[in-house]
Amino acid sequence: MPDIPAGLRDVLVRFDVSAAVDIIIVSGSIYWLLLLVRGTTAMTVLRGVGVLLIATFLLSRLLDLRVISWILRNSLTGLLVGMLIVFQPEIRRALERLGRTGLHSVLRREERHDTINLLARASASLARDSTGALIVIERETGLQEVIDTGVPINAVLSVELLLSIFPETGPLHDGAVVVRGSTVVAAGCTLPLSESPLPAEYGMRHRAAVGLTERTDAVVLVVSEERGEISLCSNGRMVPNLDETRLSRQLHRLFDIEYRDPIEPAGVPGEWRAS
pLDDT digit string (tens) for 13-33?
677 778 778 888 888 877 877
Residues 129 and 69 placed together within one structural domain of the fold: no
Tell me which of 12-16, 189-193, 230-234, 270-274 is least confident. Answer: 270-274
Residues 85 and 160 placed together within one structural domain of the fold: no
Residues 94 and 225 placed together within one structural domain of the fold: no
| Residue 179 pLDDT greater than 60, yes or no | yes
Q: How far apart are CA 213 and CA 143, in angstroms?
A: 11
Q: State which of 81, 99, 117 marks the end of a domain.
A: 99
Tell me what pLDDT residue 271 has.
31
Residues 250 and 171 placed together within one structural domain of the fold: yes
Residues 18 and 142 placed together within one structural domain of the fold: no
Confidence of residue 38 (pLDDT cuts 50, 70, 90): low
User: Is residue 275 domain-resident?
Assistant: no
Out of 40-49, 140-149, 155-164, give the one with best mean pLDDT.
155-164
Confidence of residue 102 (pLDDT cuts 50, 70, 90): very low
Q: Which of the two residues, 241 and 260, has the higher pLDDT score? A: 241
This prediction has a pTM of: 0.60
Residues 118 and 239 placed together within one structural domain of the fold: yes
Q: Is 158 exposed, middle or buried (0-12, 13-18, 19+ CB in 10 A)?
A: middle
- Which domain, by its residues, includes 77? 6-99
Residues 38 and 161 placed together within one structural domain of the fold: no
* Number of folded domains that form the chain: 2
First-to-last alpha carbon distance for the chain, in angstroms, is 66
User: Is residue 40 domain-resident?
Assistant: yes
CATH code for the domain in which residue 118 is found: 3.40.1700.10
Phi then psi dihedrals of residue 140, to 5 deg? -85, -30
Amino acid at site 73: R
Q: State which of 74, 99, 124 marks the end of a domain.
A: 99
Residues 123 and 244 placed together within one structural domain of the fold: yes
Q: State which of 99, 133, 156 marks the end of a domain.
A: 99
Tell me what pLDDT residue 18 has.
80
Residues 186 and 245 placed together within one structural domain of the fold: yes
Q: How far is CA 48 from CA 41, 42, 139, 174, in A?
A: 11, 10, 35, 38
Non-local CB neighbours of 250 within 8 Å, separated by 6+ positions = 232, 239, 242
Task: List, for residues 211-252, the tens digit of each pLDDT value.
Answer: 999 888 889 999 998 888 999 998 888 899 888 889 988 888
Tell me what pLDDT residue 103 has.
41
